Structure 1
């Protein structure tokens, strides 16, 4: 996807700026932070419904190799004709440029993760990007965290992050995740940081959108990270 960022994106009668006018980046650890996205969250339902329909179609063609695949992957999101995705994609690139100071934002890979009950993602990182961005599109069952406080959470598990190693530097004993109170966060972090998604148990699907972004195009074959091989 090209690196140009639009000033705003139109979704129906709503104009969505590249970044919120009251932008605040909430830090979680060094180079790991998130923003809130109330404007997009208010209009995203058609995109959620579209992804759920595509997820059902893909699952009907065959089962995944493992529950650890990270949910059903829906790719080529820029071909779906969704103005909501266009707004999200524009914001992810704008956030990358804001945080890194880069003059361009080239998306090397982008996909939706649709988690059904029992699915999760193994710890991994991304080799072909400077930063990774994740948007929490749909958190799943409203009582998911009442049943299990670690239900379906994007979690950082990297010994290079101080917050992961409060007991002893370099030893992961305190994994952390974005705050549950923020339903539609967009988090950005260095692509080399190890992260995972804990097992999700629920009836409604849990959906996230992920981007791997850099300031320039990466040569060579794209191999998707985080899957089972």
Structure 2
């Protein structure tokens, strides 16, 4: 299935890369509890190092931490995954689909100068970022803490047509309460963060284990 968009009768956009952006209701109260829980863990557990340059990253067991805030996050994560997997069903002209997936999530705490190197999430289908806190960046550093998604077409910048942004990266600002889902194979990074306080986020890997367009869910399907 290709995600393409008809612009008019003579033009369409091919090779679309879906990016889902959600802003759940009631996020402010949930985020306050998540921030307390994450900072408490960061104060007593050593962090792990993966793509992060500086900062603290938890083990990928956040979905097992418990508590109402984590339960709310789990629901938002499922909503984002379903929004992405609904696209092929709608392309086929139906709304029903069967979906099961597994997920792992971890917390990130960044302070001044911390960033994430360019990376992908191999072995997964979707990568998800959720912002718990996002202090206003220094106006002199407009890229501070922004998520960068790289154009996945390697030859795109070789001969970019006038007026088109082929090959250009897309950057998204960190906003508390924003969830961003994109293909796990898409190269991405986080620009160095420069602001007072902590930039707290939750990242997740999602692997689809069962999916069928036009099928009803099976009893007991596991969603996360």
Aligned with 1:52 (options 28, 39, 55): 39
**1:1-229 alignment runs, 5 A limit:** 30-58=17-45, 68-69=52-53, 71-75=55-59, 76-101=61-86, 103-140=98-135, 142=136, 144-160=137-153, 168=160, 174-179=168-173, 182-216=175-209
Which protein is richer in strand relative to its size? Answer: 2
What is the CA-CA distance between 1:105 and the residue it aligns to? Answer: 4.1
For the Cα contact (< 8 Å) 1:138–1:207, is it kept in 2? yes
Structure with greater Cα Rg: 2
SS of the counterpart of 2:69?
helix
CA contact (8 A) 1:108 1:129 kept: no
- For 2:109 and 2:125, how far apart are their aligned partners in 1? 24
User: 2: distance between equivalents of 1:90 and 1:39?
Assistant: 12
Distance across 1 between alignment mates of 2:104 and 2:54:
15
**CA, structure 1 residues 136+178, in 2 after alignment: closer, same or farther (shift >3 Å)?**
same
Residue aligning to 2:11: none
Alpha-carbon displacement from aligned partner over 1:167-196 (angstroms, at most 9, x marks no partner): 728x9753222256x542111111100000
Unaligned runs of 5+ in 1: 1-28, 218-229
Tell me the secondary structure at the aligned position of residue 95 of structure 1. Answer: helix
Residue aligned with 2:44, SS:
helix
Q: Aligned in 2, Cα 1:173/1:37: closer, same or farther, shift over 3 Å? A: same
Per the normalisation by structure 2, the TM-score is 0.68
Q: Give SS of 1:196's match.
A: strand
Distance 1:175 1:148 in 2: 17
Structure 1 counterpart SS, 2:53: coil
> 8 Å contact 1:124–1:194 — kept in the other structure?
yes
Residues 188 and 105 of structure 1: is their aligned pair in 2 closer, same or farther, counting only changes over 3 Å? farther
